[in-house]
A and B are shown apart, each in its own frame.
Chain A
């Protein structure tokens, strides 16, 4: 059985990480890349074998060993192979493999290549570990490792200040979610006494309803942080300062998918709580709308893709919220393919032009047809144009939504999927369209960068064929096809969006500047461009309002000063009547107060010498005092 060896998947990656980090400078740049690629190739082959065997036999495997003992609780560590995890393994290792190959060329000139590949290997390794884990604790450890790696990799070019701050932001914001998740896990552990998935699923029903809701919401909080859902999505756009392969990995395979995977893992728990699932659904669809809306007007080639990721992860979370687990995972699969593809293509564009601003690009179609066509396939799949994978997964999500029967969600979903073709074809046209006469760079990219893109395009193009077999294979079945009219309608909506985007951006039949002159659209544009000002308001609220000194100084300015001024005015009035009284009385009191404060503070200041020695003296005196008080009070 190949499944028994599943634990080997992350091992070579960790070893490569160790080698690359320990031998950092002694390793030849080239060697480090080949080592990492070899390790990930091994993981990929093993994952593929496991995937195939899981697909053919449909069996599960669960291996575990005793990890440690904590009081009477025996904590086990192990790995769990079922359709969900084997699919995720395949996705992670496939995308990692392609991204590693791509990075071999993309990072060719970088000095600290060993560090890059080491961290990249750790990233993929921890993600596969996260997928393999059979209990919450192990999963959380890998979850944190994934967070750490994203921090390291986003800040890979740490000489740049925005890279440093972006990585810090990503780390800190995902930490919020992680704390929520950890408290959820701990809450569950205190109630159930086990971290294992199976034990938890078996005994979760015994908890009280409120406790169930709280636990699930806390776990969902973890997913929100990791998967960049509203309101913790602000780190994703800033994370774009990392190297492009890292962005591809974060968005397609590792970081943000972890949250969705967590939700899919705990799906047996979610099914029992309609309140939580509806919360998840609303969060997901709002995030999807937000991401799509914000992606409409961005200028950075990678930020558009980032917002698009937010939107699509929103779709996946939404699908989980409406119990369409297999739809969610199928969308995850498709998204991994096309988003990795788009990021890698963006990397090609960035290397060749050296620019990030898409409004200054264009005419890229001229540069050889392979990359543009592959990218086109990715865009079509993202937009949800039939018969590509994206369409099928969106239809599956729609079917699941319809089974829930909530028409608000349905309409929001259709609105969100109307927006995706618009932004993605804006992106595509601005870069590739031959109607824009822009100069393109003279650097060209080699086959190591093109091949992964082509491979991903093939996968994205063919993914749709497997939709029904996928649905059957997954543990949750989804009934198909009872909403043909709606399916056709939604497809028409998507096609409308597609046409609109083509008309505006490619054929330029509609002048975008004319639309912008409209005040309503201008406001919408502003809001979209600044991502609803969420990030800015966090900055303002989070970093200013909570700073006590600023609050205090405001209070000082407004109230204390006001009171003092009032006193002053009063004093002036009195003094105009009786100057002598003022000199002796009011001034005397004021000076007296000031002097007495000065005097007492000068006494108090003597204690603050900054010498530990003196503080220990005060500790001693305090101890003596306490002991004397105890003695007197008869203790």
Chain B
């Protein structure tokens, strides 16, 4: 069996192919995740007129490796009064569902883990599991701050999942397919952020809140919850929770690119994959920006934003899109 045959065999088995895609995604995410920690710190330094990490490697780019080594070598502490099994399982559930969600992301027309028919619906479904993982972490820690952080996380996720889904549905209605690949291909002539400005704004805010980034990071607000639902974690488990958050963020910025900025659609001179990664990173940096630019909201304000503003706006957006689609305005897509 030569390599081509092996590849074709793997390609023909959805299960194996999915596993491989997830692994590739995992590797990608770990590297980009590490990189994005560095980017974030540098970016934050830039915004706050300081240098950020400088010691390890050129421009401190290897800082995350040092962090990783530190995390791995730390004691794996499990709170003795907590629910140990649940506590240990939580980061795994969190990361594995998000990795599974990542397996359907198309990096280029040919580089897709699994081009499933339900596409983006699957992604939303996988996103919806992460509150459970967070609850498990908070509950298992047997720490009231963890639990409060977890509850806030759940409340926030539940309130922002609906506007998020509805703004995605508006795009889906326009394209007529749930497959992310087809959504990207539909953006041949024009990127959707121009056709869906309202939906884009709602989506951006909602994905922000979903990923739990400042200004929506009530779940881990250091000043009152000492770090939130993952406060009891240490060592590699803490690393996993952080990775989970970063995957969430990266998936979010990927979605922004895929749904509204033409995915891998390029201007020519570079291969589509590179374009996609570049765009994702730009989106990532923009998402990170708000952490240093905008102060944190109160939890009730966050919930208000979700239910009283984003939800009606997303419904309005969906209605408008539906009306325009039924009038045939987007038949050229």
Are any A and B Cβ atoms less than 8 Å apart in their complex?
no
Which residues of A line the B interface, CB within 8 A? Answer: none
